[in-house]
Structure formats: C-alpha cells, structure tokens
Structure 1
Amino acid sequence: MEELKKKNSVPLLPWMRSPVDVSLLEECPLSLLPCLDPRLKVALQNMGFSSLFSVQVAVWQETIGPGSFERDLCINSPTGSGKTLAYALPIVQKLSTRAVKCLRALVVLPTRDLALQVKEVFTAIAPAVGLSVGLAVGQSSIADEISELIRRPKLEAGICYDPENSYQELQSAVDILVATPGRLMDHINNTKGFTLENLCYLVVDETDRMLREAYQSWLPTVLQLTHSGGDGLFPQANTFLPSTFGSLKTIKRCGVERGFKGKPFPRLVKMVLSATLTQDPSKLSQLDLHHPLFLTTGKQRYKLPDKLESYKVICDSKLKPLYLVALLQNLGGEKCIVFTSSVESAHRLFTLLNIFGDLKVKIKEYSGLQRQSVRSKTLKAFREGNVQVLVSSDAMTRGMDVEGVRNVINYDKPAYIKTYIHRAGRTARAGQTGRCFTLLRNDEVKRFKKLLQKADNDALPDHSVPSSSIESLHPVFTSALEKLKETIVSEASRKRKTGFKFSRMSKGNRSYHSTK
C-alpha cells in the first residue's frame, strides 16, 4: 500500500507549496481599481461590470500593481470565477500604453468554441483603447483569416503587389490573437508576414488539457520562436502601487529573487490558467516559467463553485432514460445541460429523448459528431433561450460560459473529479446559484462520494423522482426503444453509403442502457 501511495504521489514544485489565496480578497469596485484606464472602465460598465471578482483583483495587482508581470502567473480558480477577464483586462491595459501595430499577445485554447468565447471578451474591451483582436481557429477559411491578420503594404498607383518581393513589408493587422493550436501552427508554418518576434504575452488557457495533448508541438515551437526575447516593444514595469490600492498590498508573496537573471529581457510573459491545474512537474516544465507565482482559492486543490448544490438521483440502470425524462419535466423548462460519457452516447440519448414526444422543452445535441457550423448554431440558440436542454459530450465541459444555465445533469457519472468539476462548472457561475444532479445506481454511490471528497464535498443529498412519474412513462419508453433501434440502423446504413465510419454507433445499438 505504501509503495502504491508513493507511486501515485507527485512531488510539488517549490513555488506551488506557498500559493497566494485569492479568496482572501473581496470584490473591488471599478471606481477604486487603481491605474484603470478610464476608457476600459467605460467598456467594462457597458459589459455590465461594476466591480472585479477576487481572482481578477489578485491578477490585476500582480500585473498592473507592484509586481507588474515580474513573475509568470499560474492561476487555479473554480469555473465561473472570471479567469478570462482576469488576464484579458491587464493585457489590454498594458498593450494600450504603446502605440505600435504588431502581434504582441497570444492566447491559446484547446477548442474553437472556447476561442470564440474568449475573443468576445477581448473584443468588448480592446477597441476602447485602439487595439484590434484576431481569431485563428480550425474549420474556417484560412484565407479569410489571413486577410484579417495580415496587412499588405500600401502601394503607389500603378504598382502591382508582388507577394514574393514584399514579404518584409507585410505587417500584422492585430495586436492580440486568440487561437487554437492547430490553426496557430498553420499560420506559423505557411502564412507570410505572420511572426511572433514581437510577442510580449502568452496565455495558455485550460492548461492541463493543453499540456496533456501535443497539438502539433505548438508550445515548443512558440517558445523557440520567442526565446531570444523582444526588440524593445515590451511595456516596462510599473514600480510602485498607488496608495488607493489600500489593503490589497497585504497579499502574501513568496520570497523569490526578483529581476530576470539568466533570462533575456524583455522576456515573454506567461499566464497559465485552469480550474484543475496540473501539479505534474514534468508537464509544467514544458512552459519554461519564470519565477512563477501560484494564485489559487484556498488550500483545496479541487474546488467547486461556492453556490453549487450537488444531488444524487438513485435509479435503476435499465430505466435510466425514464428518470432523466421525469427529472427534466420536474425542472420545468429551466436551462439545463445533460452530460454523457461519449459523443455516441450523447447522440443516442438525444435521439431517444426526441422520440419520446412532447416533453415541453426544446432539446438539442452538442457533440463532436456534429460539424462545427451545427455546433455553433446550437450553442447560439441555447444562449438565446430558444433551446432549453443540451445533450452533450464533454465537449461542453471546458470553460464554456452560457448565461442562465440553472442545472447540470450527469446522465453518465464522471470517472474523475476533474471531469465533475468542469461539468458542474457550467452552472453556479459568477456568484449565481446552480444545481448538479448525478444519476447513480445504488452500488455506485459509495465510490462517487469518495470521488467528491477530493473537492471537499461530503454532502450528496438525494433528489427523489416520484415513482408515479416513472410508471407513467413505461408505455412510451417501450415504443421509443424500438424506434431508436430503427433510427440507429438507418443512420448506420446511410453513413456507410456516404463513406463515413459509423461502426461505434451501430455497436451502441446492442445495449442502449449501457453508455460506457
């Protein structure tokens, strides 16, 4: 047993042993936030902000305050705590102090949908100070992206543009780029005029996932291209914190060497963020962090949103779909996300729910089986309230922010605490309340409670579904299962004719109830 514990334990890096607890800070009204550009204050107010959350205040101190990016930042904060604005605001403020048009900030995220969401945050504030934001993501026209990202030189009348001879004259049309790794590498390798030589800031959002998957070796490539440092375009540090910052000066800092010994200066500043930040030294070493400062919320590694209520729904596995239908009916049309263990399970469950007939809610599927254009359209309808229920694979778990999601339902229980945190984090965001229901068999309860203990959550009250509701659905369920089989077989046949491999879906037809 002792050998097993040693094998599973990961030694903490020294800088992770003394984290800064940002939960000790209170929200800070915009009117009291020191050094905030008045134009950005107006932009934030137009977004509906009157104050900053604790994690945003802590990051502001370390970037605009006395730290002023002297150290790279690692931020481990619950989902919905405001991490995107925490890095977007100080980066925009710092870039606005220098009137130069080149790519100086890069934000890299694992998915297109998440990149679109982050770009919206930057776009809401950056134009207020004269900065432009670009987007580089997969499944979209790279030619259109190039026209948005690269500015061709102005030529005199009668002179034709020669791309072979004008390479050096091509310039970046954006100050900030939000990108997915694959498309970023496409531009690095193939787009003339695209350069990272002036890069000041690198943000790696959803860091644990970004480090777990290679993504065409994007990280070592970016670090190699920026290793030699900048050319004087980096904003210089602010040395002193105004007295108006008040009690925020009391945040604890670890005793480390200041300055940039052994590092090029100006250097590439890095910010890495996640709700479940990895503690694996071998993974974190890939980032080549400079005297990192670890910002987190409390001593608990995994933390759920403060106003999240977690419930278990005990059910018979053979009748699990009926418990879900009854639960959705009891929720009365509140905005809800139903999570399954795979894209195939999500598709089957969505198909079955629609066969059930009039459930008085609009249900849509959201998974990797769909084209990006379909997912984007579905997400838009969900945001606008035209769809009340999304049946999703874990494609929705990472960072996606949809206002008004009141409930999350784990149709398939998550195997890991990280998965539960990211799923549950789609609700109870930004200080709002929310509920997470997990459908369990009796023999799964003990193990699931043990999993939740890793997030310091021992309470898991029952949410009862009336037996009368289940019984009334039996006749419809039997018919729906037959129709589901026919639908799956028909889809498999159609996919085979079009050359699409659908074998895993057809296998799932053997047992609908088992979604693992």
Structure 2
Amino acid sequence: MTHQSRRPGTTPHDEKPAQPTAPSTGAPSVASFAALELPAPLLRTLDGLGVREPFPIQAATLPSALAGRDVLGRGRTGSGKTLAFGLPLLARTSGRRAEAKQPLALVLVPTRELAQQVTEALTPYAAAVGLRLATVVGGMSIGRQIAELRDGAEVVVATPGRLHDLVERKACRLGRVRITVLDEADQMCDMGFLPQVTEALDLVHPDGQRMLFSATLDRDVDQLVADHLHNPVVHSVDPSAGAVTTMEHHLLVVHGPDRYAVTTEIAARDGRVLLFLDTKHAVDRLTQHLRASGVRAAALHSGKSQPQRTRTLAQFKDGQVTVLVATNVAARGLHVDDLDLVVNVDPPTDPKDYLHRAGRTARAGESGRVVTLVLTGQRRETTRLLAEAGIEPTVTKVRSGEAELSRITGAKAPSGTPLDGGPPASRPKNTNTPFRGLGTSKDTSRGTGGKSRKTGEARKLAEARKAARVRRGG
C-alpha cells in the first residue's frame, strides 16, 4: 500500500514524540452557536432540535475547528464531542461533492455502536447541508457498504478494521479526504487498532485538517499527535468520568452466595440500569436468569450479530428493555438519556475500564450512581484500583432484601413471572461460586434448591432405621 508523505512538523516513529501538554493559541470560546460562522441550514437544524448553547468542549474547540486548525480535545464521553467535530466537519465539507469511492471526510471510531451513534447524531445536520453519510463497520454487509461508497458519500464514519478491508479491496480511496477525525483515540489504541489508524492517516490528504478527541492522552495517543497533527490547538475542558461532581460511587460488599440475588433485586428496580460483567457467557446466563425472574433484560456483547446489537440498544433507549447486561463492549460509545445507575457486577480490572463504564451515567450534567459489587476478598484490590482512578467510594455491606440496598440502588423484589414462557427462575444450591442463581439471605438460602448437608444426612439415618425395623419385622 502506498503511503502519502508525512506532514510538515511531524517526527519519524523512532524519534521521541513531542508532548502535547500546553495548548496552542486558538480563537476564544463562544457562548452560542449563533455566534459562529456556521451555514444557515446548520443553525436552523440546531435550533429546530433545541440545541442552543454549546457544551464546554464545543464552545472551546468550534472556533478553531471551523478555521481549519488541527484540534486535540481531551474530554470524557458524553461531553458533546460529536458536535464539536461534526459541525465543523460538515460546515467545511458542504458544497463539495464526492466522486465514487472517494470520500471527502473521515471519522474513525473504535466500536460499531459508537459508529452508529455518531452517524445518527450527524444525520439531520448532514441532510441539512446536502451531504451523504456512509457507515463502514464490521458485522454488517460489506457489499452494501461498497455500494454506498461507489454511489458517493462525502462523509464516512468507520471502524479501523472494516475501513482497512475496504481500502485493501480498492473499494475506498482516502486521497481526497481533507478532514479526518479520531474519536476515542485512546480506546482505538487500547484495542490494537493503532496500525490501521496510522495507515489511514498516512493515506488521507497530507495537508488536510486532523481532529483527535480522547479521554486520556497516553503514550500511543501522544505518538499519533506527534506524527499526524500539525501545531494543534489543545483543549482539555472536562474532568475524567470519575471526577464528575454529579456522580456517586459505591462499593457494595456482598456475601458470595447472595450476589446473584442482590444483582437480581437491583435489576428489578424502577428505571433503567446497565450491568457490566466480564464474559459473554456470564452475560448470557445472567440475562436468561433475569428474564425468568420477570425482569426485562437483554444482553449485549461481541458474540451478538450487529443487527442484534443495534436492536437491543434501540430497545434499551426506548424503554422496552430496562436492564442492559453487557461486557465492556458497552463501556464506550453508549449514550442513553436518563441512565442514572451503572453496576459493576464483576469489578473491572483496570482503572480506565472503571472510568469508561462509569461514564455511561451522569452525562451532560445529569446525576448518576456507579455501584461495584465485591466479595470480602476482592475489597482491598478493588479499593486500590478505584484509588488509581481517583475514586474514593462509599463502602457498605449489604444483603438482598435489605433496606440499605434499596436506598442505594432502588433494588426491589422481582415479579418472578417469566417473560419468555419458561419456568420461573430456579434457586440453585448454596455454594460460593459466582452467579449461582437467585439466592437470598442466610436464613432462607438453605432450602432454595437441593437439600442441605444436614438434611441429607438426616434422611440417610431415617432410611437406615426404617430398613432395620423391616429386618426385625417391626
């Protein structure tokens, strides 16, 4: 694959990258969209959708981005980054027309869900200025995406892997792309997409505008900035997810056999809740249990097809599903209005994961709670991890059915009426394995599935005595 020449002011990979710590001088921030030199159709669309005052990251970056400057923006998800890059991208591309297979603007994102969310957010504004959008992601028909590119799309929103495939097939050429956006750049690097991202940046027009948005600016992101952004205007206007003042953090210490019951009662609350687990199998198993308990739950993980994932997210957003059970695939790029509770059923293993999971709530100034369930033996390690993330949680010991659990999470008993026509949720044996099924407190768990050890021994003794009486003829 032929690469364009490196942009002026960048350094080869073997040189120490410049650290983008001090902001360049850019245009001052604005108090309203009307104060910006946006095309009239975009201003009318903003007003029609009730979007009148820019969020801080938009107010800070829009003047520089509209002027064509490279922009480096640090802000958590939910801070309004999509319009921060979307409005200048559309404004500066309007009036131009793409040729077959040759888009004019590119937005790279790490996940399919984020790609679709960005496309949905920008669609009304793109339509207002007559620009065509194409979403290029894995898990969907590549033939249909090739056709959209062939028909001409001015703006492409893509995940790095599928874009690489289309470039390899010569179905997409990036040489005419003059505006490139990297959204959630740190996650793309964490997911191993750095080579594909670098490849795409080497293929777009060398004198084009680059905008990079990231929640963190670590080594790989610094390298991208040093290699591909020219004298960027740097803005860091939002705190990390965990530092949001409207967000509460709770560490709930639970008894091992009671954890599934606690989770089930939290899931049965009034209002939506997002539950995070580590594995696809655990997600599917908990979802099945919740639905058998009468809770409107749905699973989201990488093992689901893209149409399934899209449908599940739509149902969660419109309230058909009240509980989304997910792996880290939902930790970024998921925006749901009025989501005020996130629960780590499995504690995260990395501070970044915690912050991104937490970032699904308390978005755009709203309030929210983040609850992490831990066993006694996990408490010290999880507390240390949260400290690394800058979080000092409120620690509470809880059991299912207790008022304190309800006070913190809104937990309540599920209806117990299965949603899918099967039998009610079973109550497996009282063991210390995670996710054993619906359990209760110490007093009632013994009889909730299988006999206790004492009961089994008593039965054997009674049977032996009966056999002895039979042998004696008594």
TM-score by length of 2: 0.76
Counterpart of 2:41, as a letter, is R
Cα distance, 1:14 vs. partner?
A: 4.9
The reply to whether residue 375 of structure 1 matches residue 377 of structure 2 is no
Match of residue 258 from structure 2: 319
Corresponding residue for 1:270? 210
Distance 2:266 2:221 in 1: 43
Per-residue deviation, residues 322-364 of structure 1 (Å, max 9, x unmatched): 11123334xx321110001122221222223234x23xx3111
Aligned match of 2:91: 93
Of residues 258, 277, 281, the one that matches 1:344 is 281
Q: Does 2:419 match 1:479?
A: no
Q: Distance in 2 between matches of 1:14 and 1:129?
A: 37
Matches within 5 A, 1:281-430: 283-284=223-224, 287-297=227-237, 303-329=242-268, 332-355=269-292, 357-358=293-294, 361-430=295-364
After superposition, what is the alpha-carbon deviation per residue over 1:286-307, rounded to whole angstroms, capped at 9, x for unaligned?
8522223332136x76754332
Distance 2:375 2:352 in 1: 21
- The structural deviation recorded for 1:468 is 4.9
Partners of 2:160 and 2:150 lie apart in 1 by 19
Q: What is the rounded CA distance, in whole Å, between the counterparts of 2:316 and 2:390 in structure 1?
A: 32
1:136 partnered with 2:170: no
Q: Identify which of 5, 13, 20 aligns with 1:16.
A: 20
In the alignment, the residues of structure 2 paired with residue 455 and residue 191 of structure 1 have an alpha-carbon distance, to the nearest angstrom, of 43
* Alpha-carbon offset, residue 220 of structure 1: 3.5
Q: Is the 8 A contact 2:109 2:159 kept in 1?
A: yes
Q: Are positions 1:188 and 2:167 aligned together? A: yes
Deviations 1:356-392 (CA, angstroms, capped at 9, x unpaired): x23xx31111112222221111111111110000111
Q: How does 1:226-245 map to 2 (within 5 A)?
A: 226=204, 229=206
1:179 to 136, 146, 158: 158
Instruction: Quickly say closer, same or farther: Cα 1:213–1:313, change in 2 above 3 A.
Output: closer
Go from structure 1 to structure 2 and tell me whether the alpha carbon gap of 1:315 and 1:21 turns closer, same or farther (over 3 Å shift). farther
Q: 1:28 aligns with which of 13, 31, 44?
A: 31
Deviation at 1:283, TM superposition (A): 4.4
- Work out the CA distance in 1 between the residues paired with 2:192 and 2:331: 20
Structure 1 residue aligned with 2:187, among 199, 209, 220?
209
Work out whether residues 13 and 281 of structure 1, in 8 Å CA contact, stay in contact via their aligned partners in 2.
Answer: no
Q: What residue is the counterpart of 1:170 in the other structure?
A: none
1:433 Cα deviation from its structure 2 partner: 1.2
The Cα of 1:139 is off from its aligned counterpart by 2.0
Contact 1:308 1:435 (C-alpha < 8 Å) held by counterparts: yes
Whichever of the two has the greater Rg, that structure is 2
Secondary structure of the corresponding residue to residue 51 of structure 1: coil
Runs of 5+ unmatched residues, structure 1: 1-11, 152-172, 230-266, 483-508
**1:274, CA displacement in angstroms?**
2.2
Deviation at 1:13, TM superposition (A): 6.0
Deviation at 1:279, TM superposition (A): 3.8
**Matched residue SS, 1:310:** strand
- 1:111 aligns with 111
Q: Partners of 1:150 and 1:313 in 2: how far apart?
A: 53
Q: Paired residue for 1:218? A: 196
Alignment partners' CA distance in 2, 1:21 and 1:362: 51
Residues 105, 200 of structure 1: 8 Å contact kept:
yes
Identical aligned residues as a percent: 28
1:69 offset after TM fit, Å? 3.0
Q: 5+ residue gaps in structure 2?
A: 1-15, 406-411, 417-423, 438-474
The corresponding residue for 2:71 is 73
Root-mean-square deviation (CA, aligned residues, Å) is 3.3
Q: Quick one: which amino acid aligns to residue 158 of structure 2? A: A
Count matched residues. Answer: 402
8 Å Cα contact 1:339-1:410 kept in structure 2: yes
| Contact residue 15 and residue 294 of structure 1 kept, 8 A | no
SS at match of 1:17: coil
Matched, 1:44 2:46: yes
